[in-house]
Amino acid sequence: MIRVAAVGTSMITGRFAAAVAQCSGITLQSVHSRDPQRAADAAVRLGAVRPSSSWAELLASDDVDAVYLASPNALHAGQALDVLAAGKHVLLEKPACTTPEQFVQVVSAARAGGLVALEAIRSLYDPGYDLIHRLLDDLGPLRRASFRFHQRSARYDKVLAGEAVNVFDPSMGGGALFDLGVYCVHAMVDLLGAPESVQGFAVPVAGGADGAGAGLARYPGLVADLSYSKITVGDSTSSISGEAATLLIDHLGDPRQLRVERVDGSREEFTVDKRGEDPLANMLDCVEHFVAAVEGQVSITADQERSILAARVIAELRSGSSGRPLASAPSVSTNGPERDA
Ligand SMILES: NC(=O)c1ccc[n+]([C@@H]2O[C@H](COP(=O)([O-])OP(=O)(O)OC[C@H]3O[C@@H](n4cnc5c(N)ncnc54)[C@H](OP(=O)(O)O)[C@@H]3O)[C@@H](O)[C@H]2O)c1
């Protein structure tokens, strides 16, 4: 049984706790907050065995095997390295880190310690992505793709009122690209692989974070665009077009309805077989993958490489470059055992 501690006490930790409760092989041992009372309240609310409010105590504890990081993005890398140095597995909320170099360091430390470090990009463990992969084969040579995620955040009202909030704070790794664009980037690199070059454009909000943005990615014979926003509402249908047909995906974070529209005018609808109506139910798919990885039943080398590639694309989108070739990948140290190989 994997005894996991969750770091953070916001909504997403509650969703993680609910997934853990439904998943065999893992149990919620602790909830960690900087504030002892918040930790105690959250431990009761989420059904954890005990609260934690001392980072050093949590790292030293021998009743915790793994840590789920649902802290602000800028803290993930340092916390993950602490967790791995303490001999514990780590599941990092998306985006795993704010630079590719940081995540490479995390993966290197995990491999050296024979531990698992996995990015919790829940959408990619959704059964909808298996179906999307299968349907790609029917589209013919791929020419255009559009990956979109637009969801106005209630926290933008606080920004407009002059308050600082983590999700719009650049020093905390906030902004639309890290928060929502990450789903577009992961979908793109998972489905299409590494682009030759990318170029990004951002719409800054007060405080300097990107409230919305767009990107272009060039592949041989194919162009993909990415569109993400936390400050506007809009259509989040994504599409992938080949010369034979276009695949429409209703939502990258929770794909349910897929449609293939063929050049001969025919259409076919596909409903993804899901666990229920809950749009975050695929957190359970992700937790199950983490458990299987810790138990040594699945390799996560490809997941880690995809996360590194996604981080490289995000770094390039953020750089303001004019579409230069994608920088080469920082290399993962191969010292030490590779538990997940
Ligand atoms: N997968 C999904 O669907 C999904 C959805 C939402 C968020 N997320 C991810 O979850 C992570 C957390 O996002 P969020 O919006 O929940 O963040 P948040 O509310 O700003 O912070 C999360 C937790 O981190 C702690 N925290 C806040 N500020 C901190 C600081 N300055 N230093 C140390 N700890 C701090 C807080 O816990 P205490 O105050 O109790 O210590 C808080 O509950 C992000 O990586 C985000 O991308 C994922």
CATH class assigned to 126-271: alpha beta
pTM of this structure? 0.96
Kindly give the distance from the C-alpha atom of residue 323 to the centroid of ligand 1, in angstroms, as a whole number: 32
Kindly give the distance from the C-alpha atom of residue 192 to the centroid of ligand 1, in angstroms, as a whole number: 30
- What is the percent of the chain where pLDDT is above 90? 91
Domain boundaries, the chain: 2-123+282-298, 126-271
Residue 340 has pLDDT above 50, yes or no: no
Domains 2-123+282-298 and 126-271 share a fold: no
- What is the percent of the chain where pLDDT is above 70? 98
Residue 258: Cβ within 10 Å count:
18
Ligand 1 atom nearest 9 alpha carbon: 43
pLDDT of residue 21: 97
pLDDT of residue 243: 98
Closest-CA residue, ligand 1 atom 36, reads: 8
Residue 35 has pLDDT above 50, yes or no: yes
123-170 confidence digits (pLDDT tens): 999 999 999 999 999 999 999 999 999 999 999 999 999 999 999 999
CA atoms within 13 A on the CB side of 247: 28
Ligand 1 atom nearest 178 alpha carbon: 47
Ligand 1 neighbours (beta carbon < 6 A) = 8-10, 12, 33-35, 38, 70-73, 75, 93-94, 122, 166-167, 179, 280
Cα–Cα distance between 173 and 201 in angstroms, integer? 17
Closest-CA residue, ligand 1 atom 22, reads: 71
Closest-CA residue, ligand 1 atom 26, reads: 71
65-123 confidence digits (pLDDT tens): 999 999 999 999 999 999 999 999 999 999 999 999 999 999 999 999 999 999 999 99
Closest-CA residue, ligand 1 atom 17, reads: 72
CATH number of 2-123+282-298: 3.40.50.720
Residue 337 has pLDDT above 70, yes or no: no
Cα–Cα distance between 325 and 221 in angstroms, integer? 15
